Chain A
């Protein structure tokens, strides 16, 4: 089953495998979220959106829709 960042449960981790949106991928790449890097879902804002995930020691916020363009392979 393919998982994307938007449906990663809190506390669970995954490895970024690909991006489906070029513009969003550019923004994430500059923050160090590149394919092969481990991401961990940390929390969700009230009403479940946006999300906050950890990646290389940094905490990054992302909207649910944006997160759905980040594909993961499970660890």
Chain B
């Protein structure tokens, strides 16, 4: 055992507090939430724990798995858990399993617990939220329960980190010599069991039976023989195996619990939850409250963040000004002070908004409210070919489409899940914020309409447009895609809980960290590349331009600053970046975009927020005399070199905003859609569809407005 890493998987029902326990055990920033299916992917964290029996510290690799009610997976997140604990060659195959049970619903947790024990994996049962049990005057005889189950039973309270030490020590206990078997296929149906063992190549009879029970889900992947046919000879089907097994287990659980609990009729403290539900799911109040919460969140995002955003903005501005003085004049100076730093500043400015957005989403998830939103929206959502559960991906899509698309795994129905994945990137994500903010600032005057600010209204409108586009697209897809698969809406509505502020804070910092890291990397790389592309051009065109503009007569005639202005703008046009922009100009000219915007469209292909950095680089490189003025003013003052009209006219700006609202300019989203749908077909269709939608809406709005 020396130095060996022990794999310990946390397995439990959704909302049993698995992820909270995982956080408490590992101290990692694992996101938890009070919505079934928040952990849609497995997470792991290593900790070194002192093992008194070996008198040394041992490394334990805790693995947090998506919640499941039993080992008959019905959605992709449940399948993930199933695979880890049934496939011995899986990298995460656990040496031990901690079953995390919700103390107030032990019966259901024990179903999963007995199944895992029967698989022969050493198990520890952690009875979580023991405080709820005590509050409802229930007493659990955990010693008796441990004896009945043949595994250690530890009462814990993950939220206040109670019982963790005992739980960790229980992991070092050896498994009892003769582990109990609760539902043995060899006894229930000996002849069939032998056949199943032979056909599946499994030694453990229960493992073989599980494969047969989940035959429909596993047949392709495992290239199994036709087990349905085998079962048929015994008058059984995969379904009947599942049903019969579950019912036998529930009967056993009933008698086990009769011995271990002082009363069996668990009247959980639902009254508080019910009173809140009367309000939150009310036909009128429910929707009004939902809308007010959304409104409040947006209001908070924009008003609370104003001061910190200005601070960050001016900090970056003074940083680049100071650096310009300190560093020697030259290429590096320009690159840093006109490309990289303004580019980073343009993005880091949005940290306050992103932090507030993710904090609210974490709070709503952790409190249990999100499940109610699904509940009241299901009927409406069904009309659009999606499910009440789709509301969660759609709302989190406002923060970022990548985790949002992953959270669609809890939707069992393939068609509903696909539509949800397809339309989620249309929701206005946080990467669009910098683009919108800059363009609105450039195009729209600061005007008050009654109590509302015009810019604020426009911003709200953009979120609404994204949402309507998502719904419209969903409706269209509902009609196009044919599927016979049935859709379900059977799910648990968790009890309301106070959000855990630690979790909210962790989620917030984690998201901001990832945002800074990912956006920062891309922006620095693209800034450097773009700066290079815009500072150099093919042939000796640059030298010719230098010669042309160094003519003393011309300088005399136009003045020094005008000449240097013209020189830099001609240089940009003849640079590699300029040529790039010029090449795509014919495609975007009908939208009112010039070649400079063309450059930005090319560079923000991989990530839309790069737009701001690109603008900073282009306008930094294009106007030497205006150092120190903000990007916004440089953009407002820019004129088209042919027509002399403003580049960012109202019509062109609105068209550009709409283009960014609809186009799929996000590599990460394309990658996650590929991963979640398993082929390039859907990301490709999505990319083309969103591209066309973007082009045509920009085209129509530009033609109408100009």
> Which residues from chain A sit less than 8 Å from chain B, CB to CB?
22-32, 34-35, 42-43, 45-47, 49-50, 52, 54, 56-63, 66
Contacts and interface: CB of A to CB of B under 8 A. Distances in A.
B490 interface: yes
Contacts of A58: 105, 108, 268, 492
A39 B270 CA distance: 14
Contacts of B277: 42-43, 52, 59
Given A43-B278, A57-B266, A49 B379 contact: yes
Interface in B251-296: 266-268, 270, 273-274, 277-278, 281-284, 286-287
Nearest to B495: A59
B488 interface: yes
Given A46-B376, A61-B490, A27 B274 contact: no
A57 B105 contact: yes
Nearest to B285: A46
Interface residues of B, number: 45
A22 B69 CA distance: 17
Contact of A26 (B242, B286, B287): B242
Nearest to A33: B490
Nearest to A30: B69
B667 interface: no
Given A47-B379, A57-B105, A26 B239 contact: yes
Contacts of B374: 61
Contacts of B274: 42
A22 B216 CA distance: 14
The prevalent SS among residues of A at the interface is mixed
Given A23-B486, A28-B490, A57 B375 contact: no
Interface in B24-77: 69-70, 72, 74
- Which of B266, B273, B277, B378 gathers the greatest number of chain A CB atoms within 10 Å? B378
B388 A56 contact: no
A32 B239 CA distance: 16
Contacts of A59: 270, 273, 277, 492-495
B111 interface: yes
B243 A56 contact: no
B104 A57 contact: yes
Contact of A56 (B239, B266, B278, B283): B266
B246 interface: yes
Interface in B70-104: 70, 72, 74, 104
A58 B495 CA distance: 8
B492 A50 contact: no
Contacts of B197: none
Interface string B285-321: 0110000000000000000000000000000000000
Contacts of A25: 243
14 contacts: A27-B74, A29-B247, A30-B72, A31-B108, A32-B105, A46-B283, A46-B284, A46-B379, A47-B283, A50-B379, A50-B489, A57-B267, A57-B270, A61-B378
